[in-house]
Amino acid sequence: MRFGTVPHETANRILTRVIYADMVARPHINADFPLRRVVLCGDCEKRQTSCWPKSKSGEKHPYYMYFNKECLSHRKSIRRAEI
């Protein structure tokens, strides 16, 4: 690989950051939502994410949610207790 005028050590550091950036960016396993990114949509079989939305009273409730405008189940949410 040709790096031009960038010192070899600097180029290696940059490449290492780019290669490993996705691995450490965000852990996908959380104690609150162990099935995050494992639960699939029943219509298109894409992964669901998780969140803690607030109700009017201010209480937080755990949900697995799905956002895909092209799917029939757009914005479908499932309570964590139901899974």
Q: Which residue has the tokens 């031009």?
A: 4
Q: Which string of DSSP letters, residue by residue, matches the chain? A: ---TTS-HHHHHHHHHHHHHHHHHS-----SS-TTTTTSB-TTT-PBPEEE--B-TTS-B--EEE---TTSTTTT-EEEGGG-
Q: Indicate the residue type of 34.
A: P
Question: pLDDT for 22-45, tens place per residue?
Answer: 555 555 567 788 777 778 888 888
Whole-number Å distance between alpha carbons of 13 and 68 = 37
Enumerate residue ranges in the chain where pLDDT < 70.
1-4, 6, 18-29
For the entire predicted model, the pTM comes to: 0.57
Spans of all domains in the chain:
27-82
pLDDT reported for residue 1? 53
